């Protein structure tokens, strides 16, 4: 990863599903004029990314449907790595299970989004990108 212009929004997506990447990329691109989006699809890619990470993302989108141990590993790594510790993490979730959400809030998860295929959820992400994450 090369050094980025500080005006450039840098989103990191960690998700097994290519369809989710497509929907999220489209949503982010529509909301943010200058954006760099990096996609990681599996555990191996994600671990390699963290080992070499030199650029701080503006926001990390993380799929809650990944293996629980790996999900917690990612959140722990983000929160304990100096460069990444303040980066907001948004969880992409297909369920509304509050118990799981409360467990993940301990790791400092900033937001939960569900149903990327629903237009209303895409609009909510767009609004949050413009008014919450870009400010």
Over the stretch 22-45, which tens digit does the pLDDT of each residue have? Answer: 999 999 998 987 899 999 999 999
Please give the CATH superfamily to which domain 9-133 belongs.
Answer: Response regulator (3.40.50.2300)
CA distances from 68 to 22, 23, 93, 128 (A): 23, 23, 13, 26
Q: What is the number of residues in the chain?
A: 135
Predicted pLDDT at 3: 42
pLDDT in tens, 68-117: 889 989 999 999 999 999 999 999 886 666 777 788 888 889 898 887 88
Please report the pLDDT score of residue 23 as a whole number: 92
Most confident residue range from 8-12, 64-68, 112-116: 8-12
Domain range summary for the chain, segments of one domain joined by +: 9-133
Cross-strand bridge partners of residue 113: 92
Q: Which residues contact 114 (CB under 8 A, 6 or more apart)?
A: 92, 93, 94, 95, 96, 121
């Amino acid at each position: 990863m090369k050094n980025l212009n500080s005006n450039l929004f840098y989103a990191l997506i960690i998700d097994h599903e290519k369809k989710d990447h497509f929907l999220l990329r489209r949503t982010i691109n529509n909301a943010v004029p200058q954006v760099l989006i990096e996609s990681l699809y599996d555990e191996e890619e994600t671990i390699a990314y963290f080992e070499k990470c030199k650029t701080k993302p503006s926001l990390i989108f993380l799929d809650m449907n990944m293996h629980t141990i790996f999900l917690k590993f990612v959140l722990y790594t983000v929160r304990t790595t100096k460069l990444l510790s303040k980066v907001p993490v948004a969880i992409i979730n297909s369920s509304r299970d509050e118990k799981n959400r409360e467990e993940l809030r301990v790791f400092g998860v900033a937001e939960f989004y569900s149903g990327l295929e629903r237009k209303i959820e895409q609009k909510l992400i767009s609004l949050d990108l413009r008014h919450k994450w870009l400010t």
